[in-house]
Amino acid sequence: MKIYKFGGASVKDAEGVRNVLKVLEANGHGSKVIVISAMGKITNALEEVVNAYLSTGKYTEALQPVKEFHLNILQQLFPKKEEPVYAKVKNYFEELENFIQHNRSQQYDYVYDQVVIYGELLSTTIVSEFLTAEGYGNDWLDARNCIKTDSTYRDAQVQWPETQAAIINLVKRDHVTITQGFIGTDSNNFSTTLGREGSDYTAGIFAYCLNADSVTIWKDVPGVLNADPRVFEKPRLLEQISYEEAIELAFYGASVIHPKTLQPLQRKEIPLYVRSFLNPENDGTAVKKGQPISPKIPCFIVKKNQVLISLSALDFSFIIEENISHIFSLFHKYQIKVDLIQNSAISFSVCVDNKFNNLEKLINQLKATFRVTYNTGVSLYTIRHFDDAAIRELEKDKKILLKQTTRETVQIIATP
């Protein structure tokens, strides 16, 4: 049993869907679970539907481009309008609109999860029907029947015993199964999501529960690179890395692998391969137990749109354990992800990710106890396996707000 994952870039248009078939045919018809994300930027588009609905009560204008996008792909892949896939796609949009019309909740995270899951349901239905039409047999499986979670909407935590039992029961051995990344259900049968880019994590969950031979993530890059090609010039391919190294890179913000993906794979020593769907004949990157990073070169990571918060006590007393405990309880309350910490006797600085848009609430709470200064829109740069030349190059033409160095890693918070 092998697990494949195709992201949104790999199925962003009709040609991408056709290419998925080419990749699968080149790798045989053996037992596989194929996890597929929403097409292209559809998750972003569905977020706009949520925003429009909750802010104005009107959503049809935001939803129309989503309908047209999928219809355009359908028309290219299925010239005959009588194909069953047209009715299936139409039914999903009717389900989505029915939810919005009858929903009474104004809780953003809940509404978000009930809406954005349709991106994955639509993409997997289209891909599954296309593969079937082309003679590549497969079973379509609703991941919500498999991935059981708590009710932390937008960042749901997996309930492992229930999830493993469901996956073992529903995934047929010696078959090809098409399923969705990113989505699950809670105990009330409401849809949940595992966090943005969580499709990699879904692949890891299926691999763990099925004792898979390997996981392959098919990307639009050659493999794991030492830098994001959208930000840094001339990145180099890392041919092999260990689980630990991959976890470090993912934690610091390397977007090629979701941070949670490696943990279930590491527990059962399931190899992970990151390969290019544009050049599937290439080996890409292998992530395995105990593999030293090769080549060992500086790895550059950047997380943009971060917030640097600096705190000091109102009476200039020391920042002690009790203060820090209170601060972190607020981070937890407002779902603020901490990326870097630095403290002195009377001050405490932290770089955070405000992905749930709770910064204003957090700051107001902190001001009751601390002097607070903060900078929004900063970038957090990380260099793993740094050298002096790498640091000099990164710091060039930037205003450095904070710098922290450990044995293998240097982190810099800067504005352009």
Q: Is 5 annotated as a binding residue?
A: yes
> Which helix (H) or strand (E) covers residue 69, if one does?
helix 60-77
SS3 372: strand
Contact 356, 334 (CB under 8 A): yes
3-state helix, strand, coil in the chain (%, to 5): 40, 25, 35
Average pLDDT on 46-56 reads 97
Determine the pLDDT at residue 253: 84
Structure tokens belonging to residue 383: 């260099």
Residue 257: name the closest of 269, 267, 268, 242 by CA. 242
Query: Percent of the chain at pLDDT above 70?
Result: 100
Q: Is 93 annotated as a binding residue?
A: no
Helix extents (H) in 272-408: 321-333, 359-366, 388-395
Contact 319, 348 (CB under 8 A): yes
Distance CA 311, CA 307 (A): 13
Determine the pLDDT at residue 251: 86
Q: Say which CATH architecture domain 2-212 belongs to.
A: 3-Layer(aba) Sandwich (3.40)
pLDDT digits (tens, 9 = 90+) for 223-256: 999 999 888 989 999 999 999 999 889 888 887 7
Query: Percent of the chain at pLDDT above 90?
Result: 88
Length reported for the chain:
416
Question: Over 90: is that where the pLDDT of 23 sits?
Answer: yes
- The amino acid that residue 121 corresponds to is L
Q: Is 399 annotated as a binding residue?
A: no
Q: Is 245 annotated as a binding residue?
A: no
Please tell me the CATH code under which domain 299-415 is placed. Answer: 3.30.2130.10
Question: Over 80: is that where the pLDDT of 304 sits?
Answer: yes
Distance CA 244, CA 266 (A): 9
Residue 6 burial by Cβ neighbours in a 10 Å radius (0-12, 13-18, 19+): buried
Q: Is 267 annotated as a binding residue?
A: no
pLDDT digits (tens, 9 = 90+) for 351-406: 999 988 999 999 999 999 999 999 999 999 999 999 999 999 999 999 999 999 99
Determine the pLDDT at residue 290: 87
pLDDT digits (tens, 9 = 90+) for 270-283: 999 999 999 999 99
Structure tokens belonging to residue 384: 């793993």
Determine the pLDDT at residue 416: 77
Determine the pLDDT at residue 136: 95
Q: Is 230 annotated as a binding residue?
A: yes
Domain definitions of the chain by residue range: 2-212, 299-415
Q: Do 2-212 and 299-415 come out as alike in CATH topology?
A: no
CB within 8 Å of 286: residues ≥ 6 apart = 239, 240, 241, 271, 272, 273
Q: Is 316 annotated as a binding residue?
A: no
pLDDT digits (tens, 9 = 90+) for 305-361: 999 999 998 887 888 788 899 999 999 999 999 999 998 888 899 999 998 899 999
Contact 128, 85 (CB under 8 A): no
Its pTM stands at 0.88
Average pLDDT on 91-99 reads 98
Side-chain half-sphere exposure of 276, counting CA atoms within 13 A: 14
Question: Over 90: is that where the pLDDT of 291 sits?
Answer: no
